[in-house]
């Protein structure tokens, strides 16, 4: 039975991989004719698979779809035409799923909310199509605004609430006032937030402006728009108009932005130089680099997001990479035997710890390359890493929704063979990922993921041997 399930996993992965690649081809094309042909092929695949009858496949397809909408070729989304074209494609796909593949009846609203909450613009479309109700959203917002009940950061909850204010106010003004109070907001805060997002905001045309504002998917703060345009002269002029302008200041989190790396809710935003890296703004990046803007080890991940090779090469030659406070804290927390600060270490020990941080940095960059669909960077950084364990592959897939990493379990025509030494374990032979898969360990790892595990994985491992279905340690609810 176990061998049959693992063979089925390989087949399912191949199906999902083909669908992901097809969606990427659709997003990559500039030809309306080609896009139309590929969309038809995608829709035919949905019909052939009868996805509404296969929940685990349907759920993972939705997750991949949403993740692609946020991360694929992110740098291109600074172009208004690209934004418009892509949104039209996303809506076309969702309409197909709604009308022909029972999206509404296949998933509970809670599940759809969990899948689509990371893309507010697509969630809004589901609300407009009456797939997710405003009453349900209000209930979720109320729960999310409680710091004791919410798994989300306060900034994430605030951004989501700000984005859906028009619908909430229209549905029930009393609930709107209650939610506003729960989030410690007043009307001036809200007006200010929308003013930042659109300088033409006027009381007399509020509804009209709100509709227009939410077509944007990135911060409308002036400095953010200048950086995205990579207009160096405009950037310098803007900085000169502000007394003692800090080149290490931040682009603040925006309720229009869907990308969590750009919003960086825990720290309230990212630095100007990181923002320039994320959008491939080479001219402004060079200027900030020349002006000694602070670059940390973590900043490097933003050049992966921006996919600009020139910025990558400039950073590789940059000797001033620093560790921020969190990097320092992590370094000493993981090595408490060496003391509590740099001053207590000899140069050799400190340099050793810095090297360890750079090793961790390579892992982060590799992870970002997978998350943002950059195979060329994956290949570039792979030699710096130890062989990937199956647990690492599964965890990375759950965090990135990029099926390609999970397909590493089945390169070529690789087959699973059962290990006689350990019941419930499997090896992949021939195997360039040198590891043994101990099924119960993988299952319990999945159950303890920080975020809800992808049902496709959970369902597969739950059916395998040696899983105690009467365990009481954890409860995971899929609705």
Summarize the chain as % helix, strand, coil (round to 5).
65, 5, 30
Helix (H, G, I), strand (E, B) or coil at 151: coil
Q: Is residue 311 part of a domain?
A: yes
Pairwise pLDDT comparison (219 vs 428), residue with the higher score: 219
Q: Can you read off the two tokens belonging to residue 270?
A: 């990212």
User: Would you say residue 377 lies in a domain?
Assistant: yes
User: CA–CA separation, 4 vs 7, rounded Å?
Assistant: 5
316 & 330 share domain: no
**314-359 pLDDT tens trace:** 887 765 555 555 554 444 444 443 444 445 556 676 666 666 666 6
Q: Judge whether 46 and 101 are in contact, CB under 8 Å.
A: yes
Which tokens hold the place of 218?
Answer: 């990135």
227 pLDDT band, cuts 50/70/90, is very high
CA 180 to chain centre: 27
Percent of residues, the chain, with pLDDT higher than 90: 46
Indicate if 356 and 434 belong to the same structural domain: no
Looking at the fold, whether 294 and 327 belong to one and the same domain comes out as no
Tell me, yes or no, whether 11 lies in a domain.
Answer: no
The answer to whether the predicted template modeling score (pTM) of the entire model surpasses 0.75 is yes
Dist CA 103 CA 231 (whole Å): 43
Q: Quickly tell me which residue has 């199906």 as its tokens.
A: 15
Angle, helices 2-28/55-71, rounded to nearest 10 degrees: 30
- When mean pLDDT is compared across 90-99, 262-271, 440-449, the lowest value belongs to 440-449
In a domain? residue 201: yes
Q: Is residue 279 part of a domain?
A: yes
**Distance (Å, rounded) from C-alpha 266 to C-alpha 256?**
17
Residue 337 belongs to domain spanning = 323-385
Report long-range pairs for 181-187 (Cβ below 8 Å, ≥24 apart): 182/142, 182/145, 182/146, 183/145, 183/157, 183/158, 185/158, 185/161
Residues 397 and 317 in one domain: no
pLDDT at 200: 52
Q: Which residue has the tokens 């001033």?
A: 320
Same domain membership, residue 142 and residue 206: yes
Examine the domain organization and report whether 287 and 337 are in the same domain. no
Query: Which of 76-80, 303-307, 446-450, 455-459 is predicted with the least confidence, judged by mean pLDDT?
Result: 446-450
In this structure, what are the phi and psi dihedrals at residue 219, rounded to the nearest 5 degrees? -55, 135
Residue 427 has pLDDT above 90, yes or no: no
User: Do 400 and 374 touch, CB atoms closer than 8 A?
Assistant: no
Total count of domains within the chain: 4
pLDDT tens-digit series, residues 20-73: 999 999 999 999 999 999 999 999 999 999 999 999 999 999 999 999 999 999
Q: Please state the rounded mean pLDDT for residues 202-229.
A: 82
Per-position b or e across 292-324, b if 16+ CB within 10 A of its CB = ebbbbbbbbbbbbbbbbeebbebbeeeeebebe
Q: Which residues 6+ apart lie within 8 Å of 78 measured at CB? A: 218, 228, 229, 279
Could you tell me if residue 287 is inside a domain?
A: yes
pLDDT at position 298, please?
A: 82
Q: Tell whether 372 and 307 lie within a shared domain.
A: no
Are both 285 and 314 inside the same structural domain? yes
Query: Each residue of 122-177: pLDDT tens digit?
Result: 999 999 999 999 999 988 888 877 654 556 788 898 999 999 998 998 898 998 89
Q: Contacts for 86-91 with beta carbons within 8 Å, 24 or more apart? A: 86/27, 87/121, 89/26, 89/27, 89/35, 89/39, 90/65, 90/122, 90/125, 91/125
Q: Please give the pLDDT value at position 393.
A: 82
pLDDT of 83 reads: 95
**84 in a domain, yes or no?**
no
> What's residue 228's pLDDT?
98
C-alpha torsion 253→398→409→424, nearest 10: 160
Report which of 304, 116, 302, 119 is spatially closest to residue 214, judged by C-alpha positions: 119
Q: How far apart are CA 103 and CA 44, in angstroms?
A: 16
In a domain, 123, yes or no: no
109 contact partners, CB below 8 Å, separation of at least 6: 131, 132, 133, 136
**Peptide bond before 430: cis, by omega within 30 degrees of 0?**
yes
Domain identity same for 327 and 373: yes
| Cα–Cα distance, 272 to 286 (Å, whole number) | 12
Average pLDDT, the chain: 81
**CA 218 – CA 195 distance, rounded (Å):** 14
Looking at the predicted structure, is the pLDDT value of residue 101 above 50?
yes
Per-residue pLDDT at 147:
57
Q: Dig out the tokens for 142 from the structure.
A: 């109320």
Q: What is the pLDDT of residue 372?
A: 95
307 with 377, same domain? no
- pLDDT of 278 > 90? The answer is yes
Same domain, residue pair 303 and 331: no
Tell which wins on pLDDT, 305 or 396: 305
Give the separation between CA 276 and CA 435, rounded to whole angstroms.
Answer: 40
The predicted pLDDT at position 302 comes to: 95
Query: CA nearest 63: which of 458, 464, 473?
Result: 458
Claim to verify: residue 164 and residue 204 sit in the same structural domain = yes
């Amino acid at each position: 039975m176990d061998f049959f399930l693992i063979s089925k996993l390989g087949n399912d992965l191949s199906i999902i991989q083909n669908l992901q690649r097809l969606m990427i081809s659709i997003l990559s094309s500039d030809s309306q004719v080609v896009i139309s042909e590929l969309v038809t092929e995608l829709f035919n695949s949905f019909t052939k698979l009868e996805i509404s009858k296969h929940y685990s496949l349907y759920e993972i397809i939705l997750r991949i779809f949403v993740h692609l909408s946020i991360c694929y070729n992110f740098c291109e989304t600074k172009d208004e035409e690209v934004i418009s074209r892509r949104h039209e494609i996303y809506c076309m796909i969702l309409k197909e799923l709604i009308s022909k593949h029972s999206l509404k009846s296949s998933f509970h609203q809670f599940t759809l909310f969990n899948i689509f909450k990371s893309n507010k613009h697509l969630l809004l479309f589901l609300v407009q199509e009456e797939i997710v109700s405003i009453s349900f959203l209000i209930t979720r917002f109320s729960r999310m605004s409680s710091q004791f009940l919410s798994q989300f950061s306060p900034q994430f909850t605030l951004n989501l609430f700000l984005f859906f204010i028009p619908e909430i106010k229209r549905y029930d003004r009393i609930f709107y006032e209650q939610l506003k109070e729960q989030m410690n907001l007043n009307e001036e805060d809200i007006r200010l937030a929308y003013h930042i997002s659109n300088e033409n905001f006027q009381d007399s045309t509020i509804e009209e402006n709100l509709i227009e504002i939410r077509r944007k998917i990135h911060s409308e703060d002036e400095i953010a728009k200048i950086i995205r345009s990579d207009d160096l002269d405009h950037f310098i002029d803007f900085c000169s108009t502000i007394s003692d302008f800090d080149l290490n200041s931040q682009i603040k989190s925006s309720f229009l932005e869907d990308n969590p790396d750009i919003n960086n809710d825990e720290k309230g935003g990212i630095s100007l130089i990181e923002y320039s890296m994320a959008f491939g703004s080479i001219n402004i990046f060079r200027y900030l680099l020349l002006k000694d803007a602070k670059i940390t080890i973590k900043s490097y991940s933003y050049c992966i997001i921006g996919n600009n090779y020139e910025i990558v090469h400039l950073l590789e030659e940059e000797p001033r990479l620093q560790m921020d406070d969190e990097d320092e804290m992590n370094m000493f927390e993981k090595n408490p035997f060496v003391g509590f600060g740099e001053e207590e270490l000899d140069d050799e020990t400190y340099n050793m710890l810095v090297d360890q941080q750079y090793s961790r940095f390579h892992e982060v960059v590799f992870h970002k390359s997978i998350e943002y669909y950059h195979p060329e960077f994956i290949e570039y950084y792979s030699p710096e890493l130890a062989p990937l364990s199956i647990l690492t592959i599964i965890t990375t897939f759950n965090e990135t929704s990029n099926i390609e990493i999970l397909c590493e379990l089945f390169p070529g025509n690789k087959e699973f063979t059962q290990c006689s030494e350990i019941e419930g374990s499997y090896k992949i032979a021939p195997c360039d990922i040198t590891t043994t898969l101990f099924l119960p360990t993988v299952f319990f790892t999945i159950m303890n993921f920080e975020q809800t595990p992808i049902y496709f994985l959970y369902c597969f491992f739950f059916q395998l041997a040696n899983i105690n279905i009467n365990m009481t340690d954890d409860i995971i609810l899929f609705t």
